[in-house]
Structures are given as structure tokens and as C-alpha cells.
A and B are shown apart, each in its own frame.
Chain A
Amino acid sequence: MEPSKELLRDYLHGILLPDAMEKIDILVENEDKWMELLSEVESEMMEELEKRESPKVPEPEPNQGN
């Protein structure tokens, strides 16, 4: 089984079949390529979550000289 972002997203959401969850639990603990991609997916997903929940406060208009 090769790591893919799609699969790791479903894994982090906990929506794979229990067998698959267990397999990936082991892979991400022991295989560098899985760990690396998981860490990348984690960052991406957290960034998406922060954007979803924290709308940017608009910057105040800079003072015009005139």
C-alpha cells in the first residue's frame, strides 16, 4: 500500500474501515514515507480548519494624507 494524501485525510478523519485504520496506525508509526506525508497532510488540514473558523478581521483603511 502506498501513502496518499487522500487516504491519510480519511485516516485522520477516522472514516476508514477498522482494519485499514489499524494498518495505517502501524505504518505511520514505523515507515518514514508515511510519517512524512502524514505530517504534511496534518499541517494542510489544520491550516484549512483555522481558515474555516477564524475569518480574517479586515485591516483598517490606511489614513489618506489628504
Chain B
Amino acid sequence: MNKHRSEDYLNSLQTRVIIFLSYREENIEICKDIAADTMETFIKTLRSEKIDNDFAWLREVAKNKLFNFLKRSKKQELFPDESNLYDESYWGGSVENEGESNLEEEDLVNILKELLSTKEFKVWELHSAGYPNQEIADIFNISYGRVAVIKSNIRKKLRNYMSRDSRSTDFNS
């Protein structure tokens, strides 16, 4: 017999996966991303397979996905090749292409102040001032890979922000 899985139930499972991952990875944004990806795999799998114990299945898949993610991050740390990804033209291009708006740098700074944590904002400031990843890592006493992850989060937050419904950019209000 097929088990009925309501939307509320699936949301609750996703929350459980986030919490499960948060014990293994401190960055909640990474946990949320991996949990969403895991849920997608779960729903696809349900179409062709029977899963008896949902959370047990999700734990295993989420753990593997996190492991693979961390492995990739480590590889990135060893073979950095993303220097052009974070240059100013990348940021500018992203903003203009995705939001179809023409943000001035000052607006971008205001957006980032609003969106980012203090640490993320400081990383962005140093990046903008031309500091390479390794120097940023040294300043914060964190790994090169961690800096790359923080920058990736910044980019994601900015993209999410820009993809919201034509939101006003009146930051003075």
C-alpha cells in the first residue's frame, strides 16, 4: 500500500534533514541547500521505489550529499580556479542580468548590508578591496575553502534577492 505523504509531512521531513545536517556542517545555508536537494531526490525516488522508513533513507542520502559537497570544497581548496568568478564584473553582471536592473555600487552595498551576516559582509568588503582568498582566509583565520563557501553564499543570497518579484530598491525607507 502506498503511504500518503502530505505537503506538511514533507516540509517536516525537510526540517528534520536540515537539523540532522546542522550537526555535521555549521553553515545553515549549506544545510538548507543540501536538504532541499535531498528532498528532491526523495520525491523522484518515490515515483519508482518504495521507501519504508523515510527519515532513515533521507539521513543516508543527506549524509552522502554532504560528504560529496565537502569533498568538492576540499578539491576547490586544493585547485583554486574561481578567481574570475568573484571579480567585480561578475558581481555587476549578475546583478544586471538577473534582476534586469541597473544598480549603482552604493545600492549594491546597501543590499549586501541588509542581506549578509557581519562576517559575510566583511569578506565581501575585503574581496572588493582586491584581497585574494588566501589573505582573506588569513585575516579571519579560516581555510581558503571556507572563504570560497562564504563567497558562494553571498552570491546565492544576492541572486535570491534579485530573483524576487520586482521588488523596489528603495533602501532609504
Contact = CB atoms under 8 A, between A and B. Distances in A.
Interface of A: 12-15, 21-22, 25-26, 28-29, 39, 42, 45-46, 49-50, 52-55, 57
Given A25-B55, A50-B28, A52-B28, A14 B114 contact: no
A55 B56 contact: no
Interface in B19-36: 19-20, 22-23, 27-29, 31
Contact of A57 (B29, B31, B114): B114
Interface of B: 12, 15-16, 18-20, 22-23, 27-29, 31, 53-56, 59, 63, 113-114, 117-118
A53 to B, nearest CB: 4
20 contacts: A12-B16, A12-B20, A13-B19, A14-B20, A21-B56, A22-B56, A25-B53, A39-B12, A42-B16, A42-B19, A45-B19, A46-B15, A46-B19, A49-B19, A50-B28, A53-B27, A53-B117, A55-B117, A55-B118, A57-B114
